[in-house]
Structure 1
Amino acid sequence: MKDVAEKSGTAKRVVMTEITPTTPMESYFETLSFQGQLLPKRKTGYGSDQNLIFAYDNMIKKDDPDISFKFNVPESLMDTYLDYKVKNHVAAFPMEVASSEKSVTEDHLIRDMSFIFPHVNVEKETGSLFTDTQLKAKDKRLKNDIRDGGNRFYTPIWADLGGYDVSYSSNRVGINQVSVVMKDQLTLYAYMYGHMNSETIDQDEIMLTPINADDPFPNGKPEGWSQSDINWLKK
């Protein structure tokens, strides 16, 4: 998603103040900043990447290494077999920590972190999605080989078209226990597979044409098809 817009922001709060009879009041701050990509418009069934950069800066040098983020989407956008937690019809995808580094200067402690979507596994033939935990537990619904889906968020192939409100939310962070929420919108504008009632047929990705297996190509086999391919089809 290198060609899409970015979303960023900063929050700054006072941690404490210090004053003595001989010195003016001095404030100590903690600062939270973030930067991530806006989700691009998508056809159903395809995946999106995210690299959410988050920085926590504390002037009294108190670290917070347990920062976490969730990607929140309408339940209808969670693929059938995924088993993430759902509350009030919103599914929470736990984001993975891609990197986490601490640096300390004379006046600051900074925790730089990078978050990505959770890793997903794609079943061959069906396109069904499974988490790493489900794969390790040998989920009984798995019938075919698995492809590596990477750290991406995939919408269901037959999701309804339109705009969906989504968000990224953190746990309570830092001394002030601030929760960060970043809002975005995911727009599905066409289908992966075109179908009879599709109103976006000119934009849908793949068109399926029914054929007669006994005589699949009466006008000759298509370019690139071998006789063995046709024999396999007839079987």
Structure 2
Amino acid sequence: MLTIIQNDQRVPAGLFGPRADRPARVVRLCDGEPLPDFSQVSGLMVLGGYMSVHDTLRYPYLTPLKEFMAAAVEREIPLLGICLGGQLLAEVLGAPVTCNHRGERGLLPLQLTPAAQSDPLFAGVSPTFHSLQWHSDSFDIPGGAVHLALSRHCPGQAFRYRRAWGLQFHPEVDETIVAAWSRFTGAGEEVVTGFRAGLDRHLATSGRLLANFLRLLGKAD
């Protein structure tokens, strides 16, 4: 079964969450739930969070999560890390994750690299697409990984290593999540307005990425 790791109560799975026709298990590490046994995991999705990958003293569950992700990579279990999840994957693979560096916020354009044209996660995604950005920290592309996407201000937007993908952007969010984040951070109504105006483009990309990832698990959306 697809296992979704939630690191922060404020950062849910949104569009990528379980549905009646799309079973998945959400493991809320932020609420003290334990990591599952790999026998129960056919695919792994690691969500974002307001914390940094380096905040292991304040959020001690990040340490076993990093070990769990490293083991998933070695087992070649399909893995999708989103924002903090992508940063955790990058760190697990030996790449720097820098705090307060190349931050972005809002629905912004991204560009696929030439290598992404043959990548199974990005199959059918436009070479230039829009998705929600909401990050202060950023990752470098790990050694041995394939660089898949970049933005104007942050070159590290997506990479693949074996059967694991790290994303800096947020394809999983919906308008409710963006509105909640805007209220919590004081980002302002203009972020929600901009997201709403480009919602169709965001949804098209999100739907394609999710369908492609589920296909890697042997499922079709």
TM-score above 0.5, yes or no: no
More helix per residue: 2
If the length of structure 2 is used for normalisation, what is the TM-score? 0.22
Instruction: Normalising by structure 1, report the TM-score.
Output: 0.21
More strand by share: 1
Give the greater-gyration-radius structure (CA). Answer: 1
